[in-house]
Amino acid sequence: MTAENSRTPMDWEKRFADDSTPWERPGLHPAFEHWRDTGAFDDAGSVIVPGCGRSPELKAFAALGKSAIGADLSPTALAWQKSSLEQDGLSAELIEADILLWRPDEPLDAAYEQTFLCAIPPRLRTEYEAAVFDWLKPSRKLFALFMQKAELGGPPYGCSMDAMRELFPIERWDWPEAEPVAYPHPSLNGKPELAVILTRR
Ligand SMILES: C[S@@+](CC[C@H](N)C(=O)[O-])C[C@H]1O[C@@H](n2cnc3c(N)ncnc32)[C@H](O)[C@@H]1O
């Protein structure tokens, strides 16, 4: 899918084709490792990684035995995921689509969010919330990493906690009582991502 026929002004496919991907981390996100190591993913048989790009968390979910779905607009990123999975004899469902418009046949157990919400135009955020709500079974979880950024413009667009609380209202989502843990991004000028687990009502 190209920028012309998608709803985003960013040509993500070109970014991957040009290898211009400063949002990528050198390995697994430390929040993912923490959640994995503390059993937070244990009861999730199925998980979707929207806007997975070339992030290694998709393969890590597959390695944990999850029924994993990776979704992206970019065929180049998805081809990379396919090759990476095959190298380790793993598999995941790969969906090339505007994932905000996609719904599963059966609802899922988890969604894992990493530099995706901050990448889409803010006018699409309510569509994102509606999509994640529809993807998940009741009482299941969105593992979110909300990018913090004071400056206007993007991507990445800042996901302030005030904006996130408005986007994910308590009528539809349970918020944790604990303060979110901040993970500075190793590039992107060290902008912190706040790790939050939201439970769909
Ligand atoms: C900033 S990148 C993050 C990629 C990956 N999550 C990571 O951490 O490396 C944003 C990703 O979202 C994808 N994307 C943007 N809008 C999308 C949409 N509407 N549907 C599916 N993927 C989308 C882009 O192609 C890109 O791979």
DSSP line for 142-168: EEEEEE---SSS-SSPP--HHHHHHHS
Distance of CA 13 from the midpoint of ligand 1 (Å): 10
Chain position carrying tokens 């939050």: 196
Helices (H), 65-201: 75-87, 125-135, 161-167
pLDDT > 70? residue 67: yes
User: pTM of the entire structure?
Assistant: 0.96
Query: For the structural domain made of 47-147, what CATH number should be given?
Result: 3.40.50.150
Q: Average pLDDT, whole number, for the chain?
A: 95
Residue with tokens 């918020």: 175
pLDDT for the residue 9: 87
Among 16, 72, 96, say which to mutate for ligand 1: greatest number of ligand atoms within 8 Å of CB: 72
Q: Which residue ranges have their beta carbon within 6 Å of ligand 1?
A: 8, 12, 23-24, 51-55, 71-74, 77, 98-100, 114-116, 119-120
Asked whether residue 1 carries a pLDDT value surpassing 50, the answer given is: no
Atom in ligand 1 nearest the alpha carbon of residue 54: 9
Tell me which long-range contacts 152-156 makes (C-beta under 8 A, separation of at least 24).
154/118, 154/119, 155/10, 155/118, 155/119, 155/120, 156/23, 156/115, 156/118, 156/119, 156/188, 156/191
For the chain, percent of residues with pLDDT exceeding 90: 93
Summarised one tens digit per residue, pLDDT across range 104-159 is: 999 999 999 999 999 999 999 999 999 999 999 999 999 999 999 989 899 999 99
Segment 27-43 shows an average pLDDT of 98
> Domain residues of the chain, as ranges?
47-147
Residue nearest to atom 21 of ligand 1 (CA): 72
pLDDT digits (tens, 9 = 90+) for 5-20: 458 889 999 999 999 9
Comparing CA positions, the residue from 2, 180, 179 lying closest to residue 96 is 2
Q: Which residues contact 14 (CB under 8 A, 6 or more apart)?
A: 3
Distance 117 CA to ligand 1 centre (A): 8
Closest atom of ligand 1 to CA, residue 49: 6
3 vs 103, higher pLDDT:
103
Cα(166) to ligand 1 centroid in Å equals 23
H-helix or E-strand containing 90? Answer: none
Mutation choice for ligand 1 from 6, 7, 8, 12, CB with most ligand atoms inside 8 A:
12
Cα separation, 163 vs 100, in Å, equals 19
